[in-house]
Structure 1
Amino acid sequence: MSGRVGDLSPKQAEVLQQFRERVQDILPQLPAQDDHFLLRWLRARNFNIQKSEAMLRKHVEFRKHMKVDTIITDWRPPEVKLSYLSGGMCGYDREGSPVWYDVIGPVDPKGLFLSATKQDFIKSKIRDCEMLQKECSLQSQRLGRNVESITMIYDVEGLGLKHLWKPAIETYGEILQMFEDNYPEGLKRLFVIKAPKLFPVAYNLVKHFLSEITRDKIFVLGDNWQEVLLKYIDEEELPAIYGGKLTDPDGDPRCRTMINHVGPVPSSYYVRDHVTVEYEQCLTVGRGSSQQLEYEILFPGCVLRWQFASDGADIGFGVFLKGKMGEWQKASQMQEVLRSERYNAHLVPEDGSLTCERPGVCDLMKIYIHNLEENSKKQKLQYIVMSNCSASESQHISNLHPIIMIVSNQEISISFQP
């Protein structure tokens, strides 16, 4: 049995009912609550109800953390991402599923990463995923049957060493993992076309992020790729450049109004060369060691803002809540406020903030920073932490202690400005 609606074994149907009962408390927080949606999570974990429940609950936290429910309406990618990040949805396959194209060769990975943060890159991909899921839902309504997955076409002509740049590969791996964890069964099939000899090398660098189920949906096509595409996509829905008849209104065979064909990112977009921040203090931490810095927050509504830049490699950064001053605790022993993630602050300075919402309690906010490169040399991390509490409130926090920061192998410049 396929594990889909209308094709369930008695055991699968029983597991589905039990699964629905176990996740009843989070159903209102999900983008859909029907059997089609819940079965995607069960199939992704081979109908193991415990693993499926854990996966779905993590997804709910992911949606909260990344503000996924409003990412389409409330968040706009940086201009450089809109202009120089390739791809786009164009047409539908013969079963009515949306088709997404990525044109890899002309992409300038280093230019993109020097022009916007890695978090912006990841959020852009989340936004794309949400737009595709929304289109699947609309297609389901139009066709009167369930559409829940997409067809993808990767045009890798021109794939070169520039695409194997380590920061780009690492980020692409994170995106693939995000897709696996939060959009199960969202991929119907992926066709790789015009693959050069370097493609197997690139694929081997990222395939470990993919589940066996996903890997089985990837097809590397040979010289007959146009013929194969036409078996799955009607010629009226396939761009002319790929062997179909679809063009833009002006006759452009590349369908540029739907598929972003890009090129090198102009250096005028590079962020680090145009950002000047004054950093006041310096802290050096040796390899394998750490430091903790704490801030005591007495009033709700204060906004903590940070800016930091590092040298050499990605760093992990997060904010946590602990119980009392002076007591050293691991991140796992504290309440997570801002999930620790990787930041490419050695390429683009990071700028973020959060609102301290806990009223009437002396809260200790902890920033956690960790050098993620095990074999790296000392790195320099410079940062500023600021609070915009009102004057009436600031008198109560005039004796703030530092926010906790845990750093390995980093040299740090620090300042706090209430």
Structure 2
Amino acid sequence: MSGRIGDLSPKQAEALEQFRERIQDILPQLPAQHDHFLLRWLRARSFNIQKSEAMLRKHLEFRKQMKVDAIITDWRPPEVIEKYLSGGMCGYDREGSPVWYDVIGPVDPKGLFLSASKQDFIKSKIRDCEVLQQECDVQSQKLGRNVESITMIYDVEGLGLKHLWKPAIETYTEILQMFEANYPEGLKRLFVIKAPKLFPVAYNLVKHFLSENTRQKINILGANWQEVLMKYIDAEQLPVIYGGKLTDPDGDPRCRTMIHHVSPVPPSYYVRDHVKMEYEQCTTVSRGSSQQLDYEILFPGCVLRWQFASEGADIGFGVFVKAKKGEKKKAAQMEEVVLSQRYNAHLVPEDGSLTCERPGVYVLRFDNTYSMFQAKRISFTVEVLLPERLQSPQGNGGSKNTTVQAEGNSQS
């Protein structure tokens, strides 16, 4: 049994019923509530109800932390990503699923990472996933049957050592892990075309982050790749550069995003050359350790704002909440309110903010526990901004206002 509607075993049907019952409390918050959607999570965990429930609840937290529900309407990638990251959606396969292209060769990884943050790349891929899910929903309505997965084409012609640059590979693996954890069963098949001799090296760097189910969907095509693509995608839906009849993908309404060959990123986009930050504090996070900064927020609605840069290598960063100022707690013992991630702050300065919905002690945590050999020097500025109702006419609402207690207490 495939585990899909119309092809469920009695045990699978019973598991679906139990799964729906166990997630009643979060069902209204999910992007979809129908059985097709719920079965994707069950299939991803081989119909283990407990594991599927844990996966789905974690996904809901991911959606809240990354503001996924509004990412299409309220966020756009930086211009440099839109102009210099090649690829996009174009056409549909013979079963009506959207086709997504990634064109690897022309991409300038180092130029992109000097021009935008790692989080911008991750958010742009989340946005792409949501756009594709919307397109699947449109196709489901149009065709009168469930469309829930996509066909992907990876054009790796021109893949070279520049693409194996460590920060780029690390970010790509994070994106793969994000996709596996939050968009299960979203991939129908993936075709790798025009693979050079270096491709097996690149694939070996990332394949262990893929589930066995995903790996089975990857097809590395040989010299007859055009013939194979035509078996799955009608010529009218395939760009002419890939053997089809679409002559102008960028202008065709079936192509919602550009598929273009790009040049190296101009140095004028490089953030490091144009943003000279003045930081108020510095600290060194020892190898294999972390440091926490405590900020006590007395009033709901305050905004906690931070900027930081690291020297030499990336640094982990996240924001947590605890009950009492000065008490020592590990990250696992606190509530995480800004997802802890590794930031390439040695390449691009990071900044962010959080509206504190309730009073408490908010902990900014710099994490270097994953680095066994290298300490990290961090330059940073943190501000606490008062909600408008508490600002004095003369005050600017900044952290120096005496009605907000904000002290940076460092602890490993």
CA distance 1:291–1:127, shift in 2 (3 Å): closer
Q: Indicate whether 1:183 and 2:190 are aligned.
A: no
Q: How far 1:260 sits from its partner (Å)? A: 3.3
After TM superposition, the structure 1 = structure 2 runs for residues 18-417 of structure 1, keeping only pairs within 5 Å, are: 18-248=18-248, 258-358=258-358, 361=359, 363-371=360-368, 373-389=370-386, 390-392=390-392, 394-397=401-404, 399-402=405-408
Distance in 1 between residues matched to 2:282 and 2:251, nearest whole Å = 58
| Residue 10 (structure 2) aligns with | 10
Q: Secondary structure at the match of 1:201?
A: helix
Distance in 2 between residues matched to 1:240 and 1:74, nearest whole Å = 34
CA distance 1:289–1:68, shift in 2 (3 Å): closer
Q: How far 1:372 sits from its partner (Å)? A: 5.1
Distance in 2 between residues matched to 1:26 and 1:38, nearest whole Å = 12
Distance in 2 between residues matched to 1:33 and 1:405, nearest whole Å = 44
Q: Secondary structure at the match of 2:402?
A: helix
Distance in 1 between residues matched to 2:410 and 2:142, nearest whole Å = 52
Task: Describe the superposition over 1:239-274 as per-residue Cα deviations: whole angstroms up to 9, x where unpaired.
Answer: 11111111118999xx89631322211110011111
Q: CA RMSD in A?
A: 1.8
CA distance 1:6–1:239, shift in 2 (3 Å): same
Task: Describe the superposition over 1:339-373 as per-residue Cα deviations: whole angstroms up to 9, x where unpaired.
Answer: 21111101100010011121xx4x11110101255
Distance in 1 between residues matched to 2:138 and 2:410, nearest whole Å = 46
Q: How far 1:286 sits from its partner (Å)? A: 3.0
- The one-letter amino acid of 2:69's match is D
Task: Check the 8 A contact 2:87/2:257 in 1, yes or no.
Answer: no
Distance in 2 between residues matched to 1:167 and 1:265, nearest whole Å = 16
Task: Check the 8 A contact 2:289/2:368 in 1, yes or no.
Answer: no
Distance in 2 between residues matched to 1:306 and 1:224, nearest whole Å = 52
CA distance 1:384–1:257, shift in 2 (3 Å): closer
Task: Check the 8 A contact 1:248/1:257 in 2, yes or no.
Answer: no
Q: Secondary structure at the match of 1:293?
A: strand
TM score, norm. by length of structure 2: 0.93
Task: Check the 8 A contact 1:370/1:406 in 2, yes or no.
Answer: no
Distance in 2 between residues matched to 1:142 and 1:222, nearest whole Å = 34
| Residue 412 (structure 1) aligns with | none
Task: Describe the superposition over 1:308-342 as per-residue Cα deviations: whole angstroms up to 9, x where unpaired.
Answer: 00012221111111121222111111122212111
Q: How far 1:24 sits from its partner (Å)? A: 1.2
CA distance 1:73–1:290, shift in 2 (3 Å): closer
Distance in 2 between residues matched to 1:173 and 1:143, nearest whole Å = 34
Task: Check the 8 A contact 2:318/2:338 in 1, yes or no.
Answer: yes
Q: How far 1:146 sits from its partner (Å)? A: 0.6
- The one-letter amino acid of 1:380's match is R
Q: Secondary structure at the match of 1:329?
A: coil
- The one-letter amino acid of 2:168's match is A
CA distance 1:374–1:400, shift in 2 (3 Å): closer
Distance in 2 between residues matched to 1:251 and 1:77, nearest whole Å = 21
Q: How far 1:400 sits from its partner (Å)? A: 2.9
| Residue 410 (structure 1) aligns with | none
Q: Secondary structure at the match of 2:151?
A: strand
Q: How far 1:42 sits from its partner (Å)? A: 0.6
Task: Check the 8 A contact 1:89/1:100 in 2, yes or no.
Answer: yes
Which segment is superposed worse, 284-293 or 3-12? 284-293
Task: Check the 8 A contact 1:369/1:405 in 2, yes or no.
Answer: no
Which segment is superposed worse, 282-291 or 366-375? 282-291
Task: Describe the superposition over 1:8-28 as per-residue Cα deviations: whole angstroms up to 9, x where unpaired.
Answer: 111111111111111111111
Distance in 2 between residues matched to 1:198 and 1:190, nearest whole Å = 19
Give runs of ≥4 in structure 1 deviating > 6 Å.
249-252
Distance in 2 between residues matched to 1:119 and 1:215, nearest whole Å = 26
Distance in 1 between residues matched to 2:189 and 2:410, nearest whole Å = 44
CA distance 1:372–1:201, shift in 2 (3 Å): farther
Distance in 1 between residues matched to 2:50 and 2:218, nearest whole Å = 28
Task: Describe the superposition over 1:86-110 as per-residue Cα deviations: whole angstroms up to 9, x where unpaired.
Answer: 1111000001100001110000111
Distance in 2 between residues matched to 1:267 and 1:406, nearest whole Å = 39
Q: How far 1:69 sits from its partner (Å)? A: 0.6
Task: Check the 8 A contact 1:150/1:187 in 2, yes or no.
Answer: yes
CA distance 1:277–1:222, shift in 2 (3 Å): same
Q: How far 1:280 sits from its partner (Å)? A: 3.1
Q: How far 1:36 sits from its partner (Å)? A: 0.6
Query: Taking every aligned residue pair, what percent have the same amino acid on both sides?
Result: 78
Distance in 1 between residues matched to 2:173 and 2:282, nearest whole Å = 33
Distance in 2 between residues matched to 1:117 and 1:250, nearest whole Å = 27
Distance in 2 between residues matched to 1:93 and 1:250, nearest whole Å = 18
Report the count of equivalent residues: 400
